């Protein structure tokens, strides 16, 4: 496709997304709008997880650590001075008087995660296989312990509250579009092919002159930036959260969405989020009991978890590389085909 | 529930040396002693960070002695 045509197509797509975003709150009720917001936030997080875990082959379990850092950094920055005085009286003076709007605090959260990812990733990206998973899990635990104990900044294990509720549907959709655009541009570029080369065969990648460490580190840092952004969105969506909100349960939720959707595809990341969220919402409503004709099913609380787990197992048996595998759903043409064509 | 002990067991196994029973025993004792020493001898401000120290140690081990204490130090393969 020629450049103006693809640009036109992209603009049309953006316009459609914008239209849908504006129309949705008028068409459906508040509950569904909130589900869509959560889906968008989770899609940002899972897509940013896929760039490290799926495309670069560094299976990190510490992604939620960055989400937590993002939520807390942006929360501290955007809390009003009065709320800071009430809840965080021990803050240093320059922080106590500072109160940033939503966008700057979100960007600051992303940048804080970039700095942290550079520090943590520089040593950890030397590891491979399950070693890197365990080490990043250690990072998650360290973040959790520090958040619980840095009471001057985070209120410790108590709930960090009265963060302004800023994450509306346009913000969430907007950040999702930005995330997917940036990640797709990265992954389907020469840089992205280096990621794939490092994943497929590290030794062969080194043999053709690729330096594995900086390549892995760049993917890790890029993922961490969007994790921080997603954390900020999540924090400003919930309004109050605690270190326990960003721990093992959330890690495994995100990882299972990624694995169900397909680790090597951005479409798969989004599909996994949509599928898991919808399935768990539908099952949660069915759990309260329902009627089929003359039969009535009694409420079975907790059954939705069992059904969800069974669905995950079935998906893994019949589609071991996730629903999408390594295929992408693009505007009318599959990226696989485009890859085989000469550049031009 | 029970997740933290599982992780601690994993840390002990890595410190001692994966695949070596003597190493697992040694790692377990070392880890237990370390946790108690942190609480007993270091100032009380440090003791809440016990888990962070343990997992920091795990990361250090993975980086510098990925085979643990009781196995020969082999070249780390990327």
Question: Within a domain: residue A301?
Answer: no
**Structural domain spans, chain B:** 8-64
Contact A141 B14 (CB under 8 A): no
Does A270 or A288 have the greater pLDDT score? A270
Question: What pLDDT does residue B72 have?
Answer: 58
How far is it, in rounded angstroms, from Cα A60 to Cα A140?
Answer: 10
For residue A109, what is the DSSP state?
H
Which domain, by its residues, includes A78? 29-247
Would you call B1 an interface residue with chain A, using a CB distance cutoff of 8 Å? no
Residue A328 domain-assigned (yes or no): no
Out of B3, B59, B66, name the one closest to residue A138 (CB).
B59
Which residues of chain A are within 8 Å of residue B7 when distances are taken between CB atoms?
137, 141
- Is position A334 within any domain? no
Chain B residues with CB under 8 Å of A137 CB are: 7, 55
Find the residue in A nearest to B3 (Cα). A248
Structure-model confidence comparison of residues A87 and A343, the more confident one: A87
- Chain A residues lying within 8 Å of B56, measured CB to CB: 138, 142
> ∠ CA(A235), CA(A240), CA(A245), 5° rounding?
70
Does the CB of B72 have a partner CB in chain A at under 8 Å? Answer: no
The pLDDT confidence band at residue A334, using thresholds 50, 70 and 90, is very low
Q: Is B10 on the interface with A (CB under 8 A)?
A: yes
DSSP letter string, A218-249: HHHHHHHHHHHHHHHHHHHHHS-B-GGGSSHH
Q: Which of B56, B62, B76 is opposite residue A142, by nearest beta carbon?
A: B56
Please state, rounded to an integer, the average pLDDT across all residues of chain A.
87
| Interval A24-51 mean pLDDT | 91
pLDDT reported for residue A1: 56
Q: What is residue A344's predicted lDDT score, i.e. its pLDDT? A: 39
A27 pLDDT more than 80: yes
Q: pTM for the complete prediction? A: 0.88
Please report whether residue A137 resides in a domain. Answer: yes
Of A137, A149, A203, the CB nearest to B49: A149
Pairing relationship of beta strands A295-297 and A290-292 according to DSSP bridges: antiparallel
* Burial class of residue A344 in the structure, from the number of CB atoms within 10 Å of its CB (0-12 exposed, 13-18 middle, 19+ buried): exposed
CB–CB of A149 and B63 under 8 A?
A: no
Number of domains in chain A: 1
Rounded to an integer, the average pLDDT of A147-163 is 88
At A339 the pLDDT is 47
Q: Does residue A227 fall inside a structural domain?
A: yes
Q: What is the mean pLDDT of each run of 10 residues along chain B (78 residues)?
A: 78 82 89 89 84 88 80 55
Closest Cα in chain B to A58: B78
The confidence band for A126, taking pLDDT boundaries of 50, 70 and 90, is confident
Residue ranges in A51-101 assigned as alpha helix (H):
63-78, 81-87, 93-96
Q: What are phi and psi of B2, to 5 degrees?
A: 80, 0
Chain A contact present for B21, CB below 8 A:
no
B contacts of A148 (beta carbons < 8 Å):
48
Return d(Cα B62, Cα B64) in angstroms, integer: 6
Query: What is the ipTM for the molecules in this complex?
Result: 0.82
pLDDT at A4: 76
Q: Note whether residue A59 is domain-resident.
A: yes
What is d(CA A161, CA A155) in angstroms, rounded to the nearest whole number? 9
- Residue A141 forms contact with B (CB below 8 Å): yes
Out of B3, B48, B77, closest to residue A248 by CB: B3
**With an 8 Å Cβ cutoff, is B13 touching chain A?**
no
Within a domain: residue A289? no
B9 touches chain A (CB under 8 A): no
pLDDT exceeds 90 at position A183: yes
How much is the pLDDT for A107?
95
Q: Does any domain span residue A309?
A: no
Q: CB–CB of B62 and A134 under 8 A?
A: yes
pLDDT at A320: 86
Q: Is the model's pLDDT at A319 over the cut of 80?
A: yes
């Amino acid at each position: 496709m020629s450049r103006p045509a693809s640009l036109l197509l992209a603009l049309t797509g953006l316009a459609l997304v914008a239209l849908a975003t504006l129309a949705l709150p008028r068409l459906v009720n508040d509950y569904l709008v909130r589900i869509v917001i959560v889906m968008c936030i989770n899609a940002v997080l899972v897509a940013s997880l896929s760039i490290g875990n799926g495309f670069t082959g560094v299976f990190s379990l510490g992604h939620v650590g960055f989400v937590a850092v993002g939520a807390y950094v942006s929360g501290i920055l955007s809390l009003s001075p009065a709320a800071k005085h009430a809840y965080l009286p021990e803050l240093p003076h320059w922080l106590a008087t500072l109160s940033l709007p939503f966008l700057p605090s979100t960007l600051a959260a992303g940048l804080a995660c970039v700095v942290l990812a550079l520090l943590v990733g520089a040593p950890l990206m030397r590891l491979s296989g399950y070693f890197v998973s365990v080490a990043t899990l250690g990072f998650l635990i360290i973040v959790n312990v520090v958040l619980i104990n840095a009471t001057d900044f985070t209120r410790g294990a108590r709930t960090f509250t009265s963060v302004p509720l800023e994450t509306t549907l346009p913000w969430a959709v907007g950040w999702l579009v930005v995330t997917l655009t940036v990640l797709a541009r990265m992954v389907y570029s020469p840089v992205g092919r280096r990621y794939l080369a490092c994943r497929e065969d590290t030794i062969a990648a080194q043999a053709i002159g690729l330096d594995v460490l900086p390549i892995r580190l760049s993917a890790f840092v890029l993922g961490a930036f969007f994790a921080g952004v997603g954390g900020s969105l999540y924090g400003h969506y919930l309004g109050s959260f605690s270190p326990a909100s960003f721990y093992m349960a959330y890690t495994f939720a995100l990882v299972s969405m990624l694995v169900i959707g397909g680790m090597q595809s951005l479409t798969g990341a989004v599909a996994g989020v949509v599928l898991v969220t919808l399935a768990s919402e539908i099952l949660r409503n069915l759990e309260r009991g329902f009627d089929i004709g003359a039969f009535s099913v009694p409420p079975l609380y907790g059954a939705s978890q069992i059904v969800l787990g069974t669905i995950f197992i079935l998906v893994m048996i019949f589609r071991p590389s996730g629903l999408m595998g390594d295929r992408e759903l693009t505007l009318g043409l599959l990226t696989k085909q485009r890859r085989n064509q000469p550049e031009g | 529930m029970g997740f933290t002990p599982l992780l601690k067991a994993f840390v002990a196994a890595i410190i001692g040396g994966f695949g070596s029973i003597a190493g697992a025993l040694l790692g377990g004792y070392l880890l237990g002693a370390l946790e108690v020493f942190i609480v007993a001898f270091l100032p009380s401000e440090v003791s809440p960070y016990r888990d962070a120290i343990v997992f920091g140690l795990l990361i250090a081990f993975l980086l510098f002695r990925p085979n643990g204490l009781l196995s020969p130090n082999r070249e780390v393969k990327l």
